[in-house]
Chains A and B, each alone.
Chain A
Amino acid sequence: GAGVSQSPSNKVTEKGKDVELRCDPISGHTALYWYRQSLGQGLEFLIYFQGNSAPDKSGLPSDRFSAERTGGSVSTLTIQRTQQEDSAVYLCASSIEVRDSYGYTFGSGTRLTVV
Chain B
Amino acid sequence: GQNIDQPTEMTATEGAIVQINCTYQTSGFNGLFWYQQHAGEAPTFLSYNVLDGLEEKGRFSSFLSRSKGYSYLLLKELQMKDSASYLCAVRDPRTNAGKSTFGDGTTLTVKP
Q: Is A14 an interface residue (CB 8 A)?
A: no
Residues in B neighbouring A105, C-beta threshold 8 A: 45
Segment at the B interface, from A40-48, A70-78, A80-88: A40-48
In the complex, what's the smallest C-beta–C-beta distance from B3 to chain A, in angstroms? 12
Contacts of A106 in B (CB 8 A): 42-44
Contact flag A43-B99 (CB < 8 Å), given A102-B48, A108-B41: no
A43 to B31, CA, bound (A): 17
Closest Cβ–Cβ distance, residue B84 to chain A (whole Å): 14
Q: Say yes or no: is B75 at the interface (Cβ < 8 Å to chain A).
A: no
A25 to B33, CA, bound (A): 20
Q: How many residues of B contact A (CB 8 A)?
A: 26
Contact A43 B102, beta carbon cutoff 8 Å:
yes
Interchain pairs with CB closer than 8 A, number: 63
CA distance A91 to B37 in the complex (A): 12
Asked if residues A98 and B98 are in contact (CB atoms below 8 Å), the reply is yes
B98 close to A103 (CB less than 8 A): no
Closest to B96 in A: A98
Interface size, A (range): 20 to 34
Q: How far is the CA of A108 from the CA of B31 in the complex (A)?
A: 24
Q: Which residues of B contact A67 (CB under 8 A)?
A: none
**When chains A and B are docked, how far (Å) is the Cα of A48 from the Cα of B98?**
8
Of the candidates A35, A42, A99, which one forms a contact with B105 in the assembled complex, judged by CB atoms under 8 Å apart?
A42
For B42, give its contact among A41, A101, A108 (CB under 8 Å).
A108
| Residue from the set B30, B44, B45 with the largest chain A CB neighbour count within 10 Å | B45
Residues of chain B contacted by A50 (CB below 8 angstroms): 96, 98
B15-54 residues with Cβ-Cβ distance < 8 A to A are 30-31, 33, 35, 41-46, 48, 50
Minimal Cβ-Cβ distance residue in A for B33:
A103
Q: Are A103 and B42 in contact (CB under 8 A)?
A: no
A42 touches B104 (CB 8 A): yes
**B residues less than 8 Å from A55 (CB atoms):** 96-97
- 12 additional A-B residue pairs with CB within 8 Å, beyond A31-B98, A97-B98: A33-B98, A35-B102, A50-B98, A55-B97, A98-B97, A98-B98, A99-B31, A99-B91, A101-B48, A101-B50, A104-B33, A106-B43
